[in-house]
Amino acid sequence: MKGVKYTTSIGRFAARTIPLVGWAILAYDVGSIIYHTQTEYDKIVNE
């Protein structure tokens, strides 16, 4: 594992060692943000 730096976060370690895990976490976060934003917007508009 040449080039991997020390970190105290498991998420950062996984993202640095396994790039696909990092991309999957990013995609999940983006999807979650979009979903929550849309549901909150719909609640405001439909009141």
Comparison of pLDDT for 6 and 46, the residue scoring more: 46
**CA-wise closest residue to 16 among 31, 6, 30, 29:** 6
Q: Are 42 and 34 in contact (CB under 8 A)?
A: no
In this prediction, residues 15-24 reach a mean pLDDT of: 77
DSSP code of residue 3: T
Q: Where are the domains of the chain?
A: 10-45
Q: Are 17 and 9 in contact (CB under 8 A)?
A: no
- pLDDT tens by residue, 27-45: 999 999 999 999 999 999 9
pTM of the predicted model as reported, rounded to 2 decimal places: 0.58
